[in-house]
């Protein structure tokens, strides 16, 4: 029997790799097997198409291409120009943006490009104006010192980590926390929802240079029209990091006040997660910031990755197809069904439900920390990640929460019925797991007790649930 194109491509690739380092080939095959057999509920992960994956493994990987389309610092980049221009074109059309920059290697890189572009655009020092230094690449150390002194309020206001914000929005472990004097806005303690009046109050008091919206663990929509009004009221640049929900914007599930592109001065995103592309980043903006954004390399980026830009072009082309809108709607339908199934079983959810692709469980009601719950679920074939909840008593390492999401399982074809079954599996594991103790008898935030037989039973049930929804059904590695 002849093999289809996908199977032939991946089998051939593994044969070539195996001839050089068989352990790498084995690990690649094992990863596919593991992903096929487990319930992937990590909200930031998905499954890229075979076409997207194959677009990354080619001769574009060998090219240096510093610069932008038509303005490279290396010769021989005409084919790189083609794929970068295609990726940018698809991004502009997909999101309705005036300008798209597709070179960032990750979401963090995309945010860095945005931060530096905003800072460069905000140069107001008379000394710098006199010298006509308008591009960030031309600034000397003395220029930067003068810029910071002139700005005075090199400040960022973003969502707090425990409320669902992201590390790259001004927090100390990330470089953004060293670039900016940061302050956070949280959520209402009673509801877990953003209180826009409090955000406005914080903005008036702090007077940030940048107001950031976006999240990694907030299960509701954000009203970007209101956030833009708050930014305008204090003269701040409004930036949105839509890395988590870009697929819902692309699929027109989030429209109007909930679509960030018409409201933000600048938007960053990853290209994987709900967008279902390769791991990478992207920046969208208007013409006023386009020149600064296009200087991302060498401003903060190394050389572009042409093979990944090729994969971005493929994935963005896929996202422009009508079936992607249906996919995006099913992501939200599944997340809401999963949330409802958990609520019926007595699980406490942050905000009491979801409007998007993710659900945030407060597992303290099970007597567990997030770390204990994460590992117990993994033992049972359910892949999640621990996450802080608002005012989390266990901090960001052990946490009190578990974050789950539906983009990956929706890609596999699972629907609302399977989400209820998934809720049952999650509840069974968590309700049967007990907090463990340290050797000295004190309570542990990491150790837990779960009957291995139950974990094995749930793993088999999870695998049975996936049987009717094969992952990469066209790929047979033999």
Which residues have a catalytic role annotated?
A: 64, 66, 241, 270, 273, 279
**Would you say 74 and 306 are in contact if contact means Cβ atoms under 8 Å apart?**
no
Peptide bond into 140 cis (omega under 30): no
pLDDT < 50 stretches in the chain: 124-128, 130-134, 152
pLDDT at site 148 = 55
pLDDT at site 133 = 44
Strand, coil or helix: what is 40? strand
78-95 helix and 306-319 helix, angle to the nearest 10 degrees: 30
pLDDT at site 181 = 80
pLDDT at site 127 = 43
Reported as a single tens digit per residue, the pLDDT across 196-229 is 999 999 999 999 999 999 999 999 999 999 999 9
Tell me the DSSP string of 437-454. E-TTS-EEEEEEE--HHH
Nearest to 193 by CA among 351, 360, 390: 351
Q: What is the CATH number of domain 323-466?
A: 3.90.1150.10
pLDDT at site 154 = 80
- Distances in Å between the Cα of 57 and the Cα atoms of 37, 44, 54, 79 are 25, 23, 5, 15
In angstroms, rounded to a whole number, what is the distance separating the alpha carbons of residues 315 and 311? 6
Residue ranges of the chain that CATH labels 3.40.640.10: 59-319
Q: What totals of helices (H) and strands (E) does the chain contain, helices first?
A: 20, 17
In angstroms, rounded to a whole number, what is the distance separating the alpha carbons of residues 362 and 369? 9
Dihedral (CA of 272, 183, 355, 459) sign:
positive
- Distances in Å between the Cα of 414 and the Cα atoms of 196, 348, 459, 465, 469 are 36, 24, 17, 9, 7
pLDDT at site 193 = 95
The first and second tokens of residue 90, run together, are: 């698809």
pLDDT at site 167 = 74
pLDDT at site 300 = 85
Residue ranges of the chain that CATH labels 3.90.1150.10: 323-466
pTM: 0.90
Q: What is the CATH number of domain 59-319?
A: 3.40.640.10
pLDDT at site 132 = 43
pLDDT at site 126 = 45
pLDDT at site 147 = 60
Strand, coil or helix: what is 238? strand
């Amino acid at each position: 029997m002849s093999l289809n194109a996908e199977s032939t491509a991946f089998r051939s690739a593994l044969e070539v790799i195996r001839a050089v380092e068989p352990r790498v080939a084995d690990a690649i095959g094992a990863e596919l097997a593991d992903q096929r057999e487990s319930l992937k509920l990590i909200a930031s992960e998905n499954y890229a198409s075979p076409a997207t994956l194959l677009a990354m493994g080619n001769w574009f990987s060998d090219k240096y291409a510093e610069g932008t389309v038509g303005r490279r610092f290396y010769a021989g980049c005409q084919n790189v120009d083609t794929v970068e221009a295609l990726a940018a074109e698809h991004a502009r059309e997909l999101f309705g943006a005036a300008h798209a920059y597709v070179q960032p290697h990750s979401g963090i890189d995309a945010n860095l490009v945005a931060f530096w572009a905003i800072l460069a655009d905000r140069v107001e020092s008379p000394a710098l104006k006199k010298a006509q230094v308008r591009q960030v690449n031309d600034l000397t150390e003395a220029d930067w010192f003068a810029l910071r002194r002139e700005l005075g309020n090199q400040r960022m206001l973003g969502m707090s980590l425990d409320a669902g914000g992201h590390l790259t929005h001004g927090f100390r472990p990330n470089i953004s926390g060293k670039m900016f004097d940061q302050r956070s806005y949280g959520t209402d303690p009673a509801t877990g929802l953003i209180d826009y009046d409090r955000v406005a109050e914080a903005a008036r008091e702090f007077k940030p240079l940048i107001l950031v919206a976006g999240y990694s663990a907030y299960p509701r929509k954000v009203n970007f029209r209101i956030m833009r009004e708050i930014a305008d009221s204090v003269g701040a640049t409004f930036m949105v990091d839509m890395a988590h929900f870009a697929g819902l914007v692309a699929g027109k599930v989030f429209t109007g006040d909930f679509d960030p592109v018409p409201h933000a001065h600048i938007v960053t995103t990853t290209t994987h997660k709900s967008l279902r592309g390769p791991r990478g980043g992207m920046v969208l903006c208007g013409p006023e910031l386009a020149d600064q954004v296009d200087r991302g390399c060498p401003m903060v980026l190394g050389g572009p990755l042409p093979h990944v830009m090729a994969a971005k072009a493929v994935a963005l082309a896929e996202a422009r197809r009508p079936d992607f809108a249906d996919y995006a709607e099913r992501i939200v339908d599944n997340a809401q069904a999963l949330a409802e199934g958990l609520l019926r079983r007595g699980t406490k959810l942050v905000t009491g439900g979801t409007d998007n692709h993710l659900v945030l469980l407060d597992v303290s009601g099970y007597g567990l920390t997030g770390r204990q719950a994460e590992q117990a679920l993994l033992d049972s074939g359910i892949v999640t990640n621990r996450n802080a909840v608002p005012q989390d008593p266990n901090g960001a390492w052990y946490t009190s929460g578990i974050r789950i999401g539906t983009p990956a399982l929706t890609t596999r074809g699972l629907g609302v019925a399977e989400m209820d079954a998934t809720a049952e599996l999650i509840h069974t594991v968590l309700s049967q797991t007990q907090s463990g103790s340290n050797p000295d008898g004190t309570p542990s935030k990491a150790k837990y007790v779960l009957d291995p037989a139950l974990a094995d039973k749930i793993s088999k049930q999870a695998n049975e649930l996936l049987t009717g929804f094969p992952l990469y059904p066209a790929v047979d590695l033999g």
